[in-house]
Structure 1
Amino acid sequence: MASRKSRLTLMKVLSLFSVVRGYNIPIIALAQYLSAIFILDRESRALDVILDINLFLIVLASSLTIASGYIINNFYDAQKDLINRPKKSMLDRLVSQQTKLNVYFGLNFSVVLLAFMVSWRAVIFFSGYIFLIWFYSHKLKRYPVIGNLTAALLAVLPFFGILMYFKNFYEVIFAHATFLYLLILIRELIKDLENIPGDLANDYRTIPVMFGEKVSKYIITLLTFLTIIPVYLLVDVYDVGYMDIYFYAGMIVIIIFLLKLWGAASQKQYLQLHNILKILIVAGVFSIVLIEPSVLVHGRKLLSVI
């Protein structure tokens, strides 16, 4: 009996982990720290950045906000996910909707407390972030264009949180942000293509539902070509060190992505395209260290200090 109860508890923990997409959050936290070390505060020692308590609180608050965002998104998308992701949806349903809401409010309360420990500006930023996530999940995501633009904005907002903390507004940072925003926006449009059955059944007026798959592919193609602009700036105008290797390789991946896009017609094929973009985005996170690899061995002497 005890073994069965323990197994059920473990399944509920796994269910909650699935709801908050716990596998994504560490990647976002790592990306924030790497951005802080290699882009936003390149003048300080890496160890000083890592040990900055206020930065830690901001990254932790961001992680909890993102987790709560996944919960409220899951709450509103429960019926749609039964159609689009039946296996994941069955796992997610092991935790009741009431429990999800309790965890959601608990996480948001914790975020506000953490923000208070940093500054009143942090409180305003994270309060606005929490509200915007809820408003997107409740209303905006059901509408074409505005839903996609907002989803991509929500994905990059954690980086603007640490950007405001360091007060570093160099043009190169906005070139990085533009490239990331475009990739995430393209991914959101691919998700809409992937989720057509559930969106149709639940009256989500996405671009594929309203205008068809072909129009969506034209928009994705246009956005893909627009990524060339920030890539050109980062490779030829600004100093991104050896990270230009990532951008050259990324352009090859994007060409393959476009070829596959125009041949895609099934949910499985759109999922493959979605995964290609995920890999490209995650690879970009780890490639940030290529901007100044000497940080890890000399210069700011992180390893010797440790």
Structure 2
Amino acid sequence: MDASNNGLKKKPKTRKKYSLFFKFLSLLSVVRGYNIAIIVLAQYLAAIFIFSPDLPLRDIIFNLDLYFLVLATICVIAAGYIINNFYDSKKDKINKPIKSKIDSIVSQQIKLKIYFLLNFIGVVFGFLVSWRAALFFAIYVFLIWLYSHKLKKYPLTGLFSASILSILPFFAIFIYYKNFSTIIFTHAAFLFFVLMIRELLKDLENIKGDIVQNYRTIPVTYGEHFTKILITLLILLTMNPVYFLWEYPEIGMMKYYFYFVGIVFLFVLVYLWKAKTKKDYLILHNTIKLIIFIGVLSLMLIDTSVIIKRILTV
């Protein structure tokens, strides 16, 4: 029987309408606003306590060039999260169903328009500093797209490119201040290893969706056991810069943070080899994220007297 003859004709599906507030929350979820806030905080704290410890606080906070570099970073990283979300939408429905529903409140077409707009604005902010800064952010935009579109689907390129892209925003500040001290490279080495550990744990956590979408990550290609061995090796490698920083007097009270890191890594190692479920890997992933966040805040411990002196000289 023809359904149309009985008034049973199917109605076309219409997209549910949401208020601007919910769309804004959805965009915040897509661009991971909390991650961007941590990166901005890390950039300013690094500029104050590592890259330019001798400059007055006022000269750093009210430095327009630094301000534009940070704004450019915000724009291109937010755009990067958008394009990453665009390519990972099917995988996220499996790995992160709740977040995926929140992210889908804003249509893919709108997201892409915002993506191109943010990239353009980011490069413009870079140009306000110098043409070299604009070129840096233009290349960074291309690398993020390349990672989201191609590189992340393969084992080693996905691991290394994700870690390098996460640390690159700090190089813009690093190059701007032209501070090439040993302690900066040691901090960078520590952060690079920690970011690689985080990426591997994230891949273990998302292994189900990666298999379905044919992402050849290290856990998918070589198995969970091999990935755990690799994480163990990376933790041991991470302890090299940690040990060096323990002995480095210039880090001041931040040495207690690295003591904390050593203890936490022991927990991570023990728990890692007992981990079997997505929940276990999520706990480990969040532990590494906590290490990074506390590390950002602990930059203020490098020289506590600097805080008082700079506030008094503002």
**TM-score by shorter chain over 0.5:** yes
> 1:275 maps to which residue?
286
Regions of 4+ moved over 3 Å: none
- 1:46·1:295 contact (CA, 8 Å) conserved in 2? no
CA deviation map 1:63-94 (0-9, x unaligned): 11110010000000000000000000011011
Equivalent pair of 1:172/1:238 in contact (CA under 8 Å): no
Q: Residue 161 in 1 paired to residue 186 in 2?
A: no
Partner of 1:143: 154
Q: Distance in 1 between matches of 2:112 and 2:45?
A: 32
Of the three residues 83, 89, 98, the one matched with 2:109 is 98
The aligned counterpart of 1:133 is: 144
Partner of 1:303: 311
**TM-score, scaled to structure 2:** 0.93
Corresponding residue for residue 200 of structure 1: 211
- How many residue pairs get aligned? The number is 299
- The answer for the alignment partner of 1:58 in structure 2 is 69
- The 8 Å contact of residues 149 and 185 in structure 1, kept in 2 or not, is answered as yes
Determine the C-alpha separation between the residues in 2 that align with 1:138 and 1:146. 12
Does the CA contact (< 8 Å) of 1:246 and 1:284 recur in 2?
yes
| Cα RMSD after superposing both structures | 1.2
Identity %: 53
Using the TM superposition, give the Cα deviation of residue 222 of structure 1 relative to its aligned residue in structure 2, in angstroms: 0.1
Structure 1 residues 296 and 238: alpha-carbon distance in aligned structure 2, compared to 1, 3 A threshold: closer
Alignment of 1:120-269 (within 5 A): 120-237=131-248, 239-269=250-280
CA distance in 2, matches of 1:81, 1:212: 21
8 Å CA contact 2:57, 2:311 repeated in 1: no
Shift in Å, 1:8:
2.4
**1:102-161 per-position Cα deviation (integer Å, ceiling 9, x unaligned):** 000000010111111100110111011100000000000000011011000011001111
Moved more, 40-49 or 132-141: 40-49
Contact 2:232 2:269 in 1 (8 A): yes
Tell me by how many angstroms 1:305 deviates.
Answer: 3.6
- Letter of the structure 2 residue corresponding to residue 275 of structure 1: N
Measure, in 1, the Cα distance between the counterparts of 2:24 and 2:54.
42
Q: Distance in 2 between matches of 1:10 and 1:117?
A: 32
Q: Distance in 1 between matches of 2:206 and 2:37?
A: 26
Note if contact 2:56-2:313 (Cα within 8 Å) is conserved in structure 1.
Answer: no
Aligned residue type for 2:193: L
Q: Indicate conservation of the 8 Å contact 1:152/1:188, yes or no.
A: yes
* 1:237-261 Cα distance to aligned partner (Å, 9 max, x none): 4520100000001100110011111
SS of match in other structure, 2:155: coil
Cα deviation, residue 60, structure 1:
1.0
Paired amino acid for 1:142: K
- SS of equivalent residue, structure 2 residue 33: coil
CA distance in 2, matches of 1:200, 1:304: 57
Structure 1 unaligned runs (5+)? none
1:52–1:66 Cα change, 3 Å: same
Contiguous gaps of at least 5 residues in structure 2: 1-15
What amino acid maps onto 1:181 in structure 2? Answer: F
| Distance (Å, rounded) in 1 between the aligned partners of 2:249 and 2:176 | 23
